[in-house]
Amino acid sequence: MKDYRSLSLWLDSCGDDLTPREALPGDVSADVAIVGGGLTGLWAAHYLKSQAPDLRILVLEAEICGFGASGRNGGWCSALFPASLEQLAAMSTSPSVAGKRAAAVAQYRAMIDTVTEVELVVQRLGIDADFARGGTLSLATNPAHIPRLRAEVDNMHAWGFGEEDLQWLEASQVAQRVRVSGVEGAAFTPHCAAVHPAKLVRGLARSIESAGVQVYERSRVRSIKPQSVQTDHGNVSAGVVLQCLEGYTPQMSGQHRKLLPLYSLMIATEPLSEEIWQQIGLTQRETFTDGRHLLIYGQRTADNRFAFGGRGAPYHFGSAVQDRFDHNASVFSSLERVLHELFPLTIGAAVTHRWGGPIAVPRDWTASVQFNPETSIGSAGGYVGDGLSTTNLAGRTLADLVLGVDSELVHLPWVGHDSPRWEPEPFRWMGVNTGRGLAGWADRSERIHGVPARFAQRALGLFTGGH
């Protein structure tokens, strides 16, 4: 059996023994078959069972629930959505400009509400996921970051969001929350909680199981067809099939250009002393990032570690996903260096965990929920790393679509959105890794000169759908 604890700090410390549940015993039937035991699939099962208790629902997972990004992410339950308000407005089917704007705002408001929804559900289900709603600080750690971050604040306000949603903090105000070397200011939103993601996903799996959902682990799906799922251990006949595979979607036949698996890596320190934390701050367990192009993200864990991650790992040819890609010594070293630069008091602290895994990136960097009533096949994903909370919104939306509920959720602009396919190889490999290199170059230029690398920003838009 795989050493599942070694996959992340979170799985190592979630309190479960991680012994896989039984595999699919052979050919079975169900009303709903959910492919993927991550948060999307589990939330969908939870809401379907809550609304229609008599439904026969089963979940098929190739490894164990939480094996993928749901058990390895940065632990941000945030209102972040990968598409901009402008993109969402353009996606809306409303015939009027006002209607398009309202649809985009509704999507963002739904994400804000989702943070509260997750908090309420974990409380109701008795899942101790170390939920701490401290908000997010997007730090300006270089003068070049200031115009980008301030523009984000101004743009949100122009769309009708207020200071209570996103505000600019001067350096002295930032210092009241966290002491960061060279900080110039920050954008702050209260709409985020630090979470222990493996406690969440494992607790949710136990909850739906106790409600009567059958969860089969070590049951790899080989193909999906209308009303039929083929696995290594037998076939499932089901009226509805939901595909919730996120970064593992390219492993399905014919889907290698649908979502691109991009690796994100993390490290965690040993627990730091209370004296050190008194000097650093983050007393509300605020999550944090900064304004660089090559994304970083972190949190103070409930047991007083830094859990800190970032992008920078290469994209692998052919949308390959392999266990060995979870580790990259140069990226881990870079993460340690950046953590020490931001928080010099971490120098000398042992790094106890190093891990990574694939996130799913659509060509236009826009997550979506799909359901075809003719085939009764649905899917959700493409969260670009912002999935811990978005999975909940996706699960609620899938449940409404399957059950035919005409809710506000099923009319949000991401429902039914069809992203373009990624380019064929070798153009996909060349383009994505060129974009990764360009982001790193832009950050180095801004660190040296202290002014925005505007040419690089425009060029990066070609690779990131405008992000």
CB-count burial class (<10 Å; 0-12, 13-18, 19+) for 329: exposed
**Which amino acid belongs to residue 3?**
D
DSSP, res 312: -
Nearest to 307 by CA among 356, 259, 268, 354: 268
pLDDT of 2 higher than 70: yes
CB-count burial class (<10 Å; 0-12, 13-18, 19+) for 66: buried
Do 427 and 400 belong to one domain?
A: no
Across 1-5, 400-404, 411-415, least confident range? 1-5
Do 216 and 243 belong to one domain?
A: yes
Distance CA 322, CA 334 (A): 22
Residues 377-402, mean pLDDT to the nearest whole number: 98
pLDDT of 463 higher than 80: no
Q: In this predicted structure, what is the pLDDT of residue 454?
A: 82
DSSP, res 178: B
Three-state DSSP string of 72-99: CCCCEEECCCCCCHHHHHHHCCCCCHHH
Does some domain include residue 103? no
Do 435 and 404 belong to one domain?
A: no
Do 399 and 437 belong to one domain?
A: no
Give whole-number Cα distances, 266 to 342, 375, 390, in Å.
Answer: 16, 39, 20
pLDDT, tens digit (0-9, with 9 covering 90-100), for 256-268: 999 999 999 999 9
Does some domain include residue 449? yes
CATH for 398: 3.50.50.60
Does some domain include residue 345? no
Does some domain include residue 112? no
Do 16 and 68 belong to one domain?
A: yes
Do 401 and 445 belong to one domain?
A: no
Number of domains in the chain: 2
pTM attached to this predicted model: 0.97
Does some domain include residue 379? yes
Q: Is 368 helix (H, G, I), strand (E, B) or coil?
A: strand
Instruction: Give the range of the structural domain holding residue 442, as residue numbers without chain letter.
Output: 423-467
Does some domain include residue 32? yes
Does some domain include residue 384? yes
Do 394 and 454 belong to one domain?
A: no
Does some domain include residue 212? yes
pLDDT of 27 higher than 90: yes
Q: In this predicted structure, what is the pLDDT of residue 1?
A: 74
Across 36-40, 190-194, 324-328, 452-456, least confident range? 452-456
Do 427 and 384 belong to one domain?
A: no
Strand partners, 264: 357
Residues 95-108, mean pLDDT to the nearest whole number: 98
Percent of the chain with pLDDT over 90: 97
pLDDT of 204 higher than 70: yes
SS3 content of the chain, % helix, strand, coil (to 5): 40, 20, 40
Q: How confident is the model at residue 455 (pLDDT cuts 50, 70, 90)?
A: confident
Q: How confident is the model at residue 464 (pLDDT cuts 50, 70, 90)?
A: low
pLDDT of 458 higher than 90: no
Q: Phi, psi at residue 355, to the nearest 5°?
A: -160, 175
Q: Phi, psi at residue 235, to the nearest 5°?
A: -110, 145
Mean pLDDT of all residues in the chain? 96
Residues 400-405, mean pLDDT to the nearest whole number: 98
